[in-house]
Amino acid sequence: MSAFKLSLQDEIDLAAFLRDLVQTPSPSTQEGAVAERIVAEMNRLGFRDVRIDRLGDVVGWVGPGHGPLLMLNGHMDTVRVSDPKTWHYEPFGARIEDGVLYGLGACDMKGGLAAMIYGAKLLRDSDVALNGDVVVACVTQEEPCEGLGSRVLIEEEGICPEWVVVGEPTNLDVSRGHRGRLEVRLVTHGRSAHAACPALGDNAIYTAARLVFGLELLAEQLAEDAFLGPGTLAVTNITSSAGSRNAVPDRCELIVDRRLTLGESETKALAEVQRVVAREGVRAEVEVAGYQATSYTGYVCQTRESYPAWVMAEDHPLVTAVVDTLREQLKRRPQVICWDFSTEGAYTAGVAGIPTVGFGPGDPRQAHTADEHVRLSDVYSAAEVYAWLAARLLGMK
């Protein structure tokens, strides 16, 4: 089988499509405009059964309509611009300079989305006879709640892939897993009093501060895995409440971001935090935080912020298929890595047990940064790899 190659017109069209995606804001739960743009592009390119599901995910198929299914999976949402003054390029300008496209979401992960769609188009235009389908799944709300969109597609929409490729940025290398994520909520309670007489109260912030110190010590004692690295813990938010700003707070809430390496579980992580509370001799509630949102379609989302770690064996057939495809298509041996961050793979591999790998254009270090960018040549290469991988997995023997 000869290598897949985008035509010059395909490259021009792909770059224009990616610019449209970046120029269209799509913060989590507000992905509707980008979804409609993707639907239009999929229809223009000849995908079949293109639709928006109940949550707001976009799906479109290429292939004969029967046989095994490969899902190319990416998210439409982005984080928000934290401080426009830190950007040298307009966040929604999608400016191209020296072959690099700048803008919010260019790397994480609209470059991957565009590459997956054009990779499926390239496969459709080829003369490869397929015994199965490719579905490109563009999901919502990945940034705050990874796996939500994939869960709805698989459990509620009945889409059952044999393999999943997550198009988050890997620098054109291969990711075979990542740590899990647990968001823990701690609430301390005290007794309010006038701030002029603080001894009459019990300051919930002071109690929380003792827990913060204990959690800082705990963070140095977490388990480590040879591939995924150590578990981590960080206090990421502190809020308090009182009758006024001149009253002793009677409540303080901490949010803890806990990354789980292999061998760690939600139960183990919560027990470690409970031991900190017990050692400090304070009263505090400890629980997994909840996620609640309403999608742009009106779907009400409720789930727990608990996402497992997952790793595919280095010799798993899907991993080796991606590595071999990259060697043949890009003429280099890719690195096999793990992501530092969490992705839709937390559900597809970690919960549903579907063989999953990560591959996409862009440097992962660009995610959530000012002047986020992606090389267009990498986006083109990723599209060609997606096409060849699908042909390898689904091509007639």
Active site residues: 77, 142
In the three-class reduction of DSSP (H, G, I as helix; E, B as strand; rest coil), residue 245 is classed as coil
> What is the distance in angstroms between the CA of the first residue and the CA of the last residue of the chain?
12
CA angle 259, 260, 265 (to 5 degrees): 140
By CB neighbour count within 10 A (0-12 exposed, 13-18 middle, 19+ buried), where does 356 fall?
buried
Closest residue by Cα to residue 261 from 217, 215, 307, 218: 307
β-partners of residue 300 are 294
CA pair distance 230, 326, nearest whole angstrom? 29
Cis peptide before 396 (omega within 30 of 0): no
CA pair distance 166, 181, nearest whole angstrom? 17
β-partners of residue 95 are 102
β-partners of residue 74 are 138
